Amino acid sequence: MRIRYEEWLRTCLKIAVLAAFASPADAAGRFVPGDFATIQAAIDASSSGDTVTVDPGTYIENLVLKTGVDVRGSETARTILEPGEAGKSAILANGIDDVTFGNFTIANAQIGINVLDSTNLQIVNSVFDAAAQFGIQVDVESQVDILNSVFWQNSVAITRATNAAQVTNSGFVGNAITISSPAGILVGPDESVDNCGFFDNADLEMAGVDTPLGNNPVVGNPLFVDTGERDFHLREGSPFINAGIGTDAIDNTVADIGAYGGQFADPMPFPLAAPDVSDASATAAAPYSARITWSENASYLVTNTTNPGSYRLYYSQNHSGPPYDGTDAGNGTQPSPIDAGTATTITLADMQPAVPPPVSPQLVSANPRNGAVELNWSAVAQASAYQVYWGVMSVDEHTIDVGNVTAYTVIGLNNGTTYLFAVSASRQPVYHFSVTAVDSTQNQNQSSYSPESTLALGPFTESPQSNQLSAAPAVTVPYPDLPDKGCFVATAAFGADWAAEVQVLRDFRDRYLLKSSLGRVLVAWYYRHGPALARLVADNEALKLAVRVSLLPLVLVALISFGATMLAVVWLALLTSGLLILIGRRRGARPAVIRRQSS
C-alpha cells in the first residue's frame, strides 16, 4: 500500500511526541568511541530506547542493527562507515522494529544497507557513496522511510521489493540506476517517491536531462560544495534548497533536498582546511604581526550574497589547542576567538610573543679530532635551536648558533691546545591558529576547529649554559689503531708494502674508510682475518696474480677519488697490466726449466 504524505507526517508527529514526553530514565546514551571502541559493541550493549551516538571518524565494521536502538553519527560528512568484510552489507537490518539510523557517510560498500523483514525503520540524512551493488536494498516484507539522503555514484541507488519503502527529500546524482525493483516484482520507480532531486543519472538521462521520478521532483545540478571531500552541503543557487517536504532543523525554513535538510539534519558546517600563516612583521624585531588566510566554506548558509555567515579565528601561544586562549593580539585588545566576519584573511598586529627559557642541555661528550672537537649533548624539550660556546680561557670567547641539532664539530682549532666547551638551548615563541565557519542561522551553528597551523614568531629565549667539558684536538689516530703495514693481503700480492698500489690502498683506508662507522667495521674485520689470508696468498703464485687483478679496479677508484689525473690513472693501469703479463709469462716458463734440469 502506498504511504502517502499525510501518513509520513503522522509518523514524524508520533516520534516528536514520544521524544517530548520520554523520561531521561527511560533511555541511555552510548557514545563511540568514548564509551565503546566500536559501533557494534555499543549497539550490542544497548537496550530498546537507547541511542548510540558516533563521533566523527572512519569506522571499518559491518553493523547489525537492533530493535529500538537508534544509531546516529555526529557529523554526516565526517562520520564514515566502511564495511570490514567486503562480501557483506555495511549495515544489516534484519527483523528489527522502531529504529532510526542516520547521519553517516557509507562508502566503499557492495551493499550499503540491507533491510529484511523490518518495520518502522527510518534511514535519515546519510550519504551513500559509490556502492558497487545497491546503496539500499529493501525486501518485500519491510517498511522503511528513506529521508533526506544523498545517493552519489552508486551502481544502483535503491532497489526495493515493496512500495512501503518511502523515499522523501533525497538527492540522486551520478548513479547508473536510480530506483529499481527485483525481477518479477512490479514496484514502479515513481511509486512512494516525493520531493526528490535528480541529476546526471545514467538510466534517467534523455537528451542530457534527467527524467524526474515521483511527486514534486526537482531536476538540476545540486551544486554540492565538494564531493571529493565528501562535503554534500549545497552552494548558493542550488535547486535543492527549500524544495523538500517539512521543515529544516538547521534554519527552520522549508526542508532542503539532500543530506542537510529535514528534521534530522546535522547542523554543523563542514570544517575548514588548515589556514595559511605567515610572519607579517615589518622587521625582525617588535612590533610583531601575523597574517592568517583560509579558504571559504562554500555552503549557502555560510557564503551567501544576501545573508552570509562568518568565520572565527582562534589562537594560542606556546601550546596547542583547544583551549585557544590567546590574549596578546592587538597589544591585548583582541583575545581569542576573533570574529572575522566574512573575511578570509586577517592580520593580527602588535602581538606580544614571549616564552619561558628551556632547561639547560647536558653536554655529554667532547671528542678530540684533528684540528677539531666533536661535541654531543642531550636534546631539550621544546628547544628551537642550540648554541655552542668555546674558548681557551673561557667558553664565552666564541659562540655559534648550530640550529636544532644535538651534535656539532667545532673546527679550526689548534692541535695540542686545551679548549673549554659548553652548549645552551633556545626557544622561540610559537603561535597555534585554527579557524571555524559559522552559519547565518539564528543558532549560529559553528563548525569543528580546522586543523592547526603554527607560526614561530618573536625573540628567542636562551637557557643557562650546560656543564663544561674540555678537550685538546690532536692528529687523528685511526680506529682501530693499526700499523701502517696493515695492508696484509695487498702487500703479499704486490710483494712489498712500499709498492705504489699498496700505498694507494692504505691512503684510501685512512682518508675514507676510517672516517665512517661502516668503514671502520670493514677495516676491523679485515685486520682480524687479513694475516691468515695474506699467508695463503704469499704461498700461492696463482692466487697472487688473481688478487692483483681483483685489486686493480679498487686502486683505480681510489686514485680517482684522490683527484688523480686521467693520464696518471691510465699510466698506472697500463703499468700494472704489463707487470701482470710479465709475471704470467715467467710463471709459464718456469716448469720447462725444471723439466730440463730433471732430464
Digit-coded pLDDT (tens) for 248-272: 999 999 999 999 999 999 999 999 9
Across the chain, which distance is largest between two alpha carbons, in Å?
128
> How far apart, in Å, do the first and last CA atoms of the chain sit?
122
In the predicted structure, residue 130 carries a pLDDT above the cut 60: yes
In the predicted structure, residue 533 carries a pLDDT above the cut 70: yes
In the predicted structure, residue 194 carries a pLDDT above the cut 60: yes
Sign of CA dihedral 190, 193, 198, 201: negative
Pairing of strands 193-194, 165-168: parallel
The secondary structure of residue 61, as a DSSP letter, is: -
- 440-478 confidence digits (pLDDT tens): 999 999 999 999 999 999 999 999 999 999 999 987 544
- 557-590 confidence digits (pLDDT tens): 766 666 655 555 555 555 556 555 555 555 554 4
What pLDDT sits at residue 24? 41
Q: What mean pLDDT is reported for the chain?
A: 87
In the predicted structure, residue 389 carries a pLDDT above the cut 80: yes
Confidence (pTM): 0.73
Domain boundaries, the chain: 5-27+77-234, 276-355+430-461, 363-426+462-471, 484-598
Sequence-separated (6 or more) residues with CB below 8 Å from residue 110: 83, 86, 87, 88, 89, 131, 132, 133
| Pick from 1, 11, 4: nearest CA to 264 | 11
What pLDDT sits at residue 1? 35
537 or 471: which carries more pLDDT confidence?
A: 471
Q: Domain 363-426+462-471, CATH 3.40.630.30 — does that match?
A: no
Pick the CATH number of 276-355+430-461 from 2.60.40.10, 1.10.3720.10, 3.30.200.20, 3.40.50.2300: 2.60.40.10
DSSP string, 496-550: STTSHHHHHHHHHHHHTGGGSHHHHHHHHHHHHHHHHHHHHHHT-HHHHHHHHHH
CA–CA distance, 96 with 104 (Å, rounded to integer):
19
| Pick from 180, 121, 165, 171: nearest CA to 148 | 171
Task: Judge whether 276-355+430-461 and 363-426+462-471 match in fold.
Answer: yes
26 or 299: which carries more pLDDT confidence?
A: 299
- 403-438 confidence digits (pLDDT tens): 999 999 999 999 999 999 999 999 999 999 999 999
Alpha helices of 348-499 — where are they, by DSSP H? 488-494
What pLDDT sits at residue 58? 98
CA–CA distance, 444 with 450 (Å, rounded to integer):
17
C-alpha cell at 235: 552552494
Cβ(235)–Cβ(227) under 8 Å? no
In the predicted structure, residue 591 carries a pLDDT above the cut 60: no
- 85-107 confidence digits (pLDDT tens): 988 999 999 999 999 999 999 99
SS3 486: helix
Burial pattern 185-195, b for ≥16 Cβ within 10 A else e, equals: eebebebbbbb
